[in-house]
Amino acid sequence: MISLAYANSAPAPGGLMSFVPFIIIFILFYFMLIRPQMRQAKEHKKLLSELKKGDEIMLASGILGKIEKVSDNFVILEISDNTQIKVQKNSVQAVLNKGTIKSI
């Protein structure tokens, strides 16, 4: 049995109006999460493409070193006198200013 108060109420909004909250949530996600992440990935890709011999870099693991050789996917990094390691380019976190490693 339906009471008269519910029977006389206005019909629920339908069609496009029911999707408005979902559209607003998607727009918020785009501007707060997706767009900044895409911009950060673009900046990291640019950083990796500009790596050259002699740059001082920091890896995601915190290792600091000087680039000895750059290839498509790998970087040979001198972390100490006569100590070199081969790491993936994607692990490069930041390029440091010249002389940073000597000052530490």
The pTM score is 0.72
Q: What's the CATH number where 35 sits? A: 2.30.30
Residue 7: inside a domain, yes or no?
no
Number of Cβ within a 10 Å radius of residue 66? 19
Residue 13: inside a domain, yes or no?
no
Residues in CB range of 64: below 8 A, 6 or more apart: 56, 57, 58, 79, 96, 100, 101, 104
Number of Cβ within a 10 Å radius of residue 56? 19
Distance CA 77, CA 64 (A): 9
Q: E-strand spans in 8-91?
A: 56-59, 64-70, 74-80, 83-88
Q: What pLDDT is attached to residue 12?
A: 56
Residue 71 structural domain = 18-102
Tens of pLDDT, residue by residue over 22-54, are 999 999 999 999 999 999 999 999 999 999 999
Number of domains in the chain: 1
